[in-house]
Structure 1
Amino acid sequence: MSASVAVAAAVMAMGALTPPSASAAAKPDSVQQSLDALVRNDGMPAALAGVKDRDGHVRNYTAGVGDLATGSKVPKDGQVRIGSNTKTFTAVVVLQLVGEGKIGLDASVETYLPGLVRGEGIDGRHITVRQLLQHTSGLPNYTDGLDVDAVRYQYFEPRELLDRALKHRADFPPGTKWAYSNTNYLLAGLIIQKVSGRPLAEEITHRVIDRVGLRHTYFPAVGDMTIREAHPKGYRRDSAGAPLRDFTEMDPSWGWAAGQMISTNSDLDRFYTALLGGGLLPAAQLAQMRTTVPAEALGHGDRYGLGIVSRPLSCGGVYWGHGGDIPGYETRGGATDDGRGAYVAVTTAPSDEAAERRVEAAVDTALCR
């Protein structure tokens, strides 16, 4: 669920034009050191990073091994499952449709999905599209209690996932609090399909992936359990201290509009930079997306907009992005308003909150060095 490096990156990317001094060349790279520490100290099989400077030059980093069984190298800028970064793609499509006058941000869910959202303390007539995108709807999270091992190879229709959520009572009245719930984006995806008359995957591909030129990003097709291009394997532990199990292949349909997609660090850098630069949304909708509320549960002074998170940087300012957690992979990163970007991926879930914070710190290091 959360998320940018200029002179040093430019020097590295443009070394032929401005050769570094001997002392600069010998100086350890802080991003590489961060990734090495995640492997050495936190037990990550692999760590990958893509770092982009203001001029658009990208440097990719790797640490660890791509396959514990063979010891193979980590593919540079390899594909990974990006989990909840999918939410930002979904939010962009919703906001494009808002800009086209086809969806109202403050219209009720009932307007687009009549009679569908009903449960104990749950009524789609009183939940707005904005509240879905901002996680202020109070809807219970359909992934709470989901046994990912039991459903690893199971295909889910979105309506099945919604039924899981509606068996539970609302967490709070709409608009009164903030709480992260994948159900919000499940409904956002259903609204996209209802309004556009096209599958969600097609809308995301046409409106975002193709428009920005994300060559290594896709929404897996029904039944597609693999990762198409070069990738590090993803691993999962049954419990703290248990051995790592290969969890690379799985049916990601239970993530759908909230977490199904696959991408690379450099594509994510490109996506978030294009988004912040106005390449995907009209100014009015981008301003709405960047209107935030406190998201205390995420920590660090994080604030949640409409499918995007702002996080303070140790060197001042903030960066905008998201993050993603799905069995086998965790991703963190985002971009700054001045065009810097950084994304970090690791190939197992951090073992504790401290380890997760060190993944996030690697992003801060990349954006602040």
Structure 2
Amino acid sequence: MRKSLHGRQIVACGTLVALLAATTAAPALAVTSPLQGALDTLTAQDGVPGAEAVVQDGSRTRVTRSGTGDVATGKPFPRNGSFRVGSVTKSFVATVVLQLAGEGRVKLDAPVERYLPGLLPDRRITVRQLLQHTSGLYNYTDDLDLSDPEALRHRGADPAELVAMAVKHPALFPPGTTWSYSNTNYIVAGMLAERVTGHALGDEIAHRITLPLGLRDTYLPRRGDEKLPAPHAVGYVPIDGNLVDFSDYDATIAGAAGGLVSTPADLDRFYGALLGGRLLRPAELAEMRRTVPADLGVPGARYGLGLGSIPLSCGEFWGHEGGVLGFTNLAGVGPGGRRATVVLNQNPAPEAAEAHLLAATDAALCSGR
């Protein structure tokens, strides 16, 4: 539910009804369930190598897969394998900052200048505006040369370098006046959390979120840590008409904006705990869910603080999209607390797959209710 590292966006065109109709429009697919049919559309019709959905409903976990996790061997997606979650990282970073706000160590409406003096040219930008994408900061990933993804494999980056790339450009608009997705916002938010706590962001995520929740397979890689832990589906990037294995690379080029590694089951548990009030006090969770209209390509979409809201056929979804080289996903919570993560092992994904990802998420959260 965001512009991914390579600058594309998960876009759902038209109404959700139209999306669901498109999902079932391929007569050659043997549909055994709405969710299986949606995943089969992504693989057999759209051409994504593989797709997996992990749905948790109360104590019940359901894993549905389609296609392949490895085009060379034909092996399916491993059940609950590791993958790079992209901008789902933002929900974790926002949770850390909101916990700091609850502790009185950060004020959401204070200027970033208070915590990171001299970093940003516009001293009016507030912490809230970073988390809500209303700062006006230029999106640094728009300056990355993605015509040769291999050039990024071992590049990595320090957060200050990424912010410097962004602030060379003029502001998109005065802070707080409109909404525009920018990965720069969360690079700055990560730097702020590190400055306030005196600890690395990955350590704060572990201390505040992953260890308390028992998320054993979720972490933020450090510079030079390029290996995606096994088991995992191969993450593919299309280059010159071929699918290239991009599972392993230095994800600090995405950092606090999109560098996290996790599994579908861990993300389901995280979003269930977050929306269930286990990670934030009521006041901070209410701030996280205070939304503004957002251009997410879905009618009625809104964005809070590191958390998006989109309409489903059965109600409202809260969560985040993630797209980073090799993997695309959508993870969050639907009506009644049902949680789902849908993962594709390709990014950039085929254009048609962008809409069908949302349809698969709708099927995961709404079918069989």
**TM-score, length basis structure 2:** 0.88
Kindly report which structure 2 residues correspond to 1:356-367, keeping only aligned pairs within 5 A, or say none: 356-367=354-365
Deviation, 1:27, is 8.5
Q: Secondary structure at the match of 1:214?
A: coil
Q: Match of 1:303?
A: 302
Deviation, 1:350, is 5.5
Equivalent pairs, count: 338
Equivalent pair of 2:50/2:76 in contact (CA under 8 Å): no
| Equivalent of 1:92 in 70, 91, 95 | 95
Q: Match of 1:278?
A: 277
Q: Distance in 2 between matches of 1:368 and 1:350?
A: 27
CA 1:155–1:350 in 2, change beyond 3 Å: closer, same or farther?
closer
| Equivalent of 2:316 in 315, 318, 321 | 318
Deviation, 1:358, is 0.2
Question: Is structure 2 residue 30 aligned with structure 1 residue 29?
Answer: no
Q: Secondary structure at the match of 1:237?
A: strand
Q: Distance in 2 between matches of 1:277 and 1:42?
A: 35
Question: Is structure 2 residue 129 aligned with structure 1 residue 131?
Answer: yes
Q: Deviations over 1:11-45 (max 9, x none)?
A: xxxxxxxxxxxxxxx99222122112211011111
Compare CA radii of gyration and give the structure with the larger one: 1
Equivalent pair of 1:273/1:336 in contact (CA under 8 Å): no
Deviation, 1:354, is 3.2
Q: Secondary structure at the match of 1:312?
A: strand
CA 1:341–1:297 in 2, change beyond 3 Å: closer, same or farther?
closer
Q: Secondary structure at the match of 1:113?
A: coil
Question: Is structure 2 residue 49 aligned with structure 1 residue 50?
Answer: no
Question: Is structure 2 residue 110 aligned with structure 1 residue 107?
Answer: yes
Equivalent pair of 2:238/2:348 in contact (CA under 8 Å): no
Q: Match of 1:70?
A: 73
Q: Match of 2:200?
A: 199
Deviation, 1:61, is 1.6
When structure 1 is superposed on structure 2, of 323-332 and 72-81 the one drifting more is 72-81
Please list every run of at least 4 consecutive aligned residues from structure 1 whose deviation after the TM superposition is greater than 3 angstroms: 350-354
Q: Match of 2:167?
A: 166
Equivalent pair of 2:88/2:331 in contact (CA under 8 Å): no
Q: Distance in 1 between matches of 2:217 and 2:63?
A: 15
| Equivalent of 1:348 in 333, 346, 352 | 346
Q: Deviations over 1:36-76 (max 9, x none)?
A: 221101111110110111x2311112211121112223201
Q: Distance in 1 between matches of 2:351 and 2:176?
A: 28
Q: Deviations over 1:165-200 (max 9, x none)?
A: 011111010001100000000110010000000000
- RMSD, aligned α-carbons: 1.6
Q: Distance in 2 between matches of 1:284 and 1:204?
A: 20
Q: Distance in 2 between matches of 1:219 and 1:368?
A: 31
| Equivalent of 2:43 in 35, 39, 44 | 39
Equivalent pair of 2:293/2:303 in contact (CA under 8 Å): yes
Deviation, 1:271, is 0.5
Q: Secondary structure at the match of 1:104?
A: coil
Q: Distance in 2 between matches of 1:145 and 1:247?
A: 20
CA 1:264–1:174 in 2, change beyond 3 Å: closer, same or farther?
same
Q: Secondary structure at the match of 1:190?
A: helix
Q: Match of 2:236?
A: 235
Equivalent pair of 1:49/1:77 in contact (CA under 8 Å): no
Q: Distance in 2 between matches of 1:198 and 1:114?
A: 18
Q: Secondary structure at the match of 2:152?
A: coil
* Structure 1 segments unaligned to the other structure (5+ residues): 4-25
Q: Distance in 2 between matches of 1:75 and 1:94?
A: 33
Q: Deviations over 1:298-320 (max 9, x none)?
A: 323210000000110112x2010
> What fraction of aligned residue pairs are identical, expressed as a percent?
51
Deviation, 1:349, is 2.5
Letter in 2 for 1:86: T
Q: Match of 2:62?
A: 59
Q: Distance in 2 between matches of 1:266 and 1:136?
A: 31
Q: Match of 2:286?
A: 287
